[in-house]
Structure 1
């Protein structure tokens, strides 16, 4: 009987498969299911239930290089549940059979897209709440974020030996050398700072604004680390330009950091927060461009489960203007 249902479901649209899956699992009683959005490693569907709406998330891969990706994200959301600015994770199935990877059911937020000019202060307040959460022993650690991000970037650059963009690869390795010369010996950089849970992937598309709050909804790449990973990632132009045409100038950058500093009620000197964030901005820029370098190969060789032509255009733009982005650091 179950085998027959599985064969039959192969001919159904994804939305219909989700309806059948939710009813069989008795997670919720779905009235309707509609495609919501897809990133590079997950696709999301809106589930309208009897009393509430939900997001049904289907995983297709892992940026962290782990096999239990959807379970990992489920644990992250459980750990952050008290913040009030992240989705509530209700159910998770790491081996759902008829879907590409694991699946997760979580809160749906009905707000509007994030706008940097209007909403950066809200993001600062969101980060302040998230960074109060102490590290979880069930998450990966990045307590040496500079060297670990550089190492991750090296892996992305070296993944495909027959990559056609040789000059871009050479330029990124030269930038890597600059970072190592300046920051490679940094064991005392975060002395006295409290580690916390960090998202590490905070582009505008991962925020939903409802009222006076900005909810951070995508947690696939979270790690235990230091706040500067999120602050630096939020500010670099490779992040802001990913889904918008906005770049932080020096005044708006300082305005955002001051809003964060105020929201945390921190005793840390603002200049120290500024300096450490600036260092991570420079390092995160290497990772962003290295990911684009890697993804260009996968897109042009047809080896990605999920593809987005808007994303591919951004990738090409970033690589074509690589010197401009590196000068911005």
Structure 2
């Protein structure tokens, strides 16, 4: 298993690459597995006084040539908010280990709980979305100005092999053809975002386990694929059932959503610019992203050579690709 091999290699890497020139770390340190996603494996490196996250990137899901540097650069820009991890070390050479490497701050806390922490999440988003992108180094970020068209293109890319695959169910393929067609027919609503431009830094992966809720401070982590775009990207995803069900099996009530919106808009330095209307327009395109990724990932999981396999993720993917689930999710639209 890759993570077991890496756990052994990381100790030697830290010794041989003089990593301790970048972080305080005694000679008597240990390495242990922390967590893994689809494209990253995280370890804890610690001694008696210091503790860090050692992040190993295996692939890019946003088609950038240097995925780990993209994340590093984003974290450096975001440090000023105080609600993202501080990052200390980057190795994008892939010389010693064939993967991109980051070392960042270890943050104490627990995952977000929707029934307890919505106001904290609103405050985090408000702080991040208050950053003035004209006053920060932002040239390295992907910019998405045409967010409905971008979701269609993303959906098409993710679905290419799925729609061609002989092992996939015809009913599922027909559903995605119809869904893509509906999105095409309604993408003229994109004009709203062009005429009422509001660009901020979006995380784009805002499930409950990418929040660290601490006793005094709370954070948003996993900045693997941020973009500069309309804030509805993050807010829609945060509130959507495809997100709240992912790790927590939770669906937000209207009252809970309004509580979140209240704290979010209160925390925005520039004030609210009709975030609810933006979320309403973007919502089905967020579902296209989420469900298309599930289709793509399902096919990847059929490959025995896939580097990272998380069976909880695989189970959730299959749940989301259930026809009844998808039809219920989209019944308001088509």
TM-score by length of 2: 0.89
State the match for 1:322 in structure 2. Answer: 326
State the match for 1:304 in structure 2. Answer: 306
- 1:62-113 CA-partner distances (Å, limit 9, x unpaired): 1101120001100110111101010111111112334341111011112112
Which one of 204, 210, 216 corresponds to residue 206 of structure 1? 210
Distance 1:322 1:188, change over 3 A: closer
TM-score by length of 1: 0.90
Comparing 14-23 and 64-73, the one that deviates more: 14-23
Structure 2 counterparts to residues 48-87 of structure 1, below 5 A: 48-49=46-47, 51-87=49-85
Stretches of structure 1 lacking an aligned partner (at least 5 in a row): 1-9
CA distance in 2 between partners of 1:151 and 1:174 (Å): 15
Structure 2 counterparts to residues 171-320 of structure 1, below 5 A: 171-268=175-272, 272-320=274-322
CA distance in 2 between partners of 1:78 and 1:266 (Å): 23
Contact 1:41–1:60, Cα closer than 8 Å, also in 2: yes
Which one of 15, 22, 27 corresponds to residue 7 of structure 2? 15
State the match for 2:130 in structure 1. Answer: 132
Across the aligned residues of Structure 1 and Structure 2, the Cα RMSD in angstroms comes to 2.0
CA distance in 1 between partners of 2:145 and 2:305 (Å): 32
Comparing 279-288 and 309-318, the one that deviates more: 279-288
Which one of 158, 167, 171 corresponds to residue 167 of structure 1? 171
Contact 1:237–1:247, Cα closer than 8 Å, also in 2: yes
Segments of 4+ in structure 1 off by > 6 A? Answer: none
Shift of 1:23: 2.1
Contact 1:235–1:281, Cα closer than 8 Å, also in 2: no
Shift of 1:303: 4.4
CA distance in 1 between partners of 2:79 and 2:304 (Å): 38
Aligned length in residues: 317
CA distance in 1 between partners of 2:100 and 2:172 (Å): 35
Shift of 1:263: 1.4
Distance 1:297 1:198, change over 3 A: same
CA distance in 1 between partners of 2:124 and 2:314 (Å): 29
Shift of 1:293: 0.5
